[in-house]
Chain A
C-alpha cells in the first residue's frame, strides 16, 4: 500500500511508463510507413516489445529510493520477511505499470491496425505477462540496488530474462491475429508468470541481503 501511494505521489514511474508506451507505438507507423497490411502483421510484436521496455523504464527506482533514505536495512530487521517486501514491491510495480499498459494496449492496437480477433488475446497475454515482468524486474532491481548507474546494468541483466515472456506473449497475440488457436502460448505464459511470482521474491530477498552487507 505504501509503495502504491509513494509511486503515485512521486509522480515518476506511473505516468511515465504509460507515456513511453504510447510514444513508441505512435512512432512505429512513422518508421515503417502507413501500409495497413504491414502494420497489422507487426502490431502484436510491436505492442509487446513496447510494453516490455515501458515496464523496464521504472524498474530501477523499485528499491533505489528505499536504499537512499535508509529504509531498506530497517525493513530487513522488521518482522515482515524481505521476500514479502520484494513481492509487495513487484505488486506495486505491476499496479502502476503493468496494469495501465494492459488497459492501454487495446486502444493503441487500433493505431497499429491490429486485426479484430487479436484484441482479446493481446490484452489477455499482457495481463498474464506483465506480472512476470514485474517479478523478474524486482529481482534485477534487488541485484543492482546499491550501484551507481545501476539502471543500465539492470536492463542488461533483466532483458534476457524477459525473452521467454516476450516470445509466448507476442506469439499468443500473433496467432490470434492470424486466426490460429492460441491456447498453448497463453498457457505457457501463465506458467511463466506463476513460476516467476513464486520464485523471484526469494531470489530478490537473497540479493537484497547480500547488497545490505
Chain B
C-alpha cells in the first residue's frame, strides 16, 4: 500500500507538470481526490490494514495527501497568474500614442514678467496700487515738477484727448494721488499701462510700467540703491551687477539711470549691450522737494525715493523679440511660446 501511495504521488506530480488550464487541473483533481478518485480509493483500503500498519500508513497517506494538495494549490496559483498575465497582455496599449494633456492657457508674456516684478517688490513690503490712465496735466506733469514750458516735456510725446485730458505718459501720477490720500510711511508700486506717441520696433504707443515710491521720515539714496540691487538680483540672478548713472528727471533729485550687467555676456560686452557690458533698465531718484510741496508734504520732514521701469524692456531682456510690437498682435503662435 505504501508503494501504491508513492506511485500515486509520483503520478500526480508528473501529471501536474502537463497541466495548462484550470479545467485540466480540475479534472486531475477529481481523478485522484474525487469521491471515486484514485487516492480516495486507496485511502478507502486503509481499513484492511493491520493495527500496526495502520498508523504508519495512515500517517504516510496524510502526508502525501497534504503535499499533493499543496502541489495542486501551487499549480492553481501558477495558472491564475499566467492567465492574468495573458489577460493584461491583451489590454496592452501603444504607449507612444499622445497623452491627453489638459488644454491650459498661458498668461501673456508681458503679464508674466509684470507679475514677477510685483512679487519681488511685495516681498520687500511694497503694496500694489493702481490709478487712472486718463489723466490731467496737473497729475501727469505739473505736480511732478514739470511745468508747461519745461524742456523735459519734449521727452514725453503725449497723447491728448479732445476734451483736454491726456493719457498718462508714465505711472508717476499715481505717486501724487497716493501721497494725497495717505500719510507716510508709503511703500507702493504702481503697475499698469502708460502711453507715448512712439511706434517702431522698440516702442509701442501703449506700454507697461512699474513705478515705485517709498516715503518716510528718513529715506536715503543708499536705500534706493539697496532696494533696486535686491530687485535686480532676484529678477536677473545673483550675479547681476548694477550701475547707477547720474541722470535727470524733473521729479527726482538726485536722479539716476540704472543699468544692469548685460544678461547675454555677463558684462563682457557684446552686440546686445552695444559692447558696453551694461543694459539700462530703469530710472530712479530721490523724490524732488517740489513734488512733496505739490502734495503738501514738508520736504524738511520727509524724504523718499521713486523709480520706474518699462516692463516690455525687461521682458525683452529675456525674450529677445526683434520687434516688440509683436507683443500686442496676439498671434497665438507667439503667445503659445511663453
A binds B: no
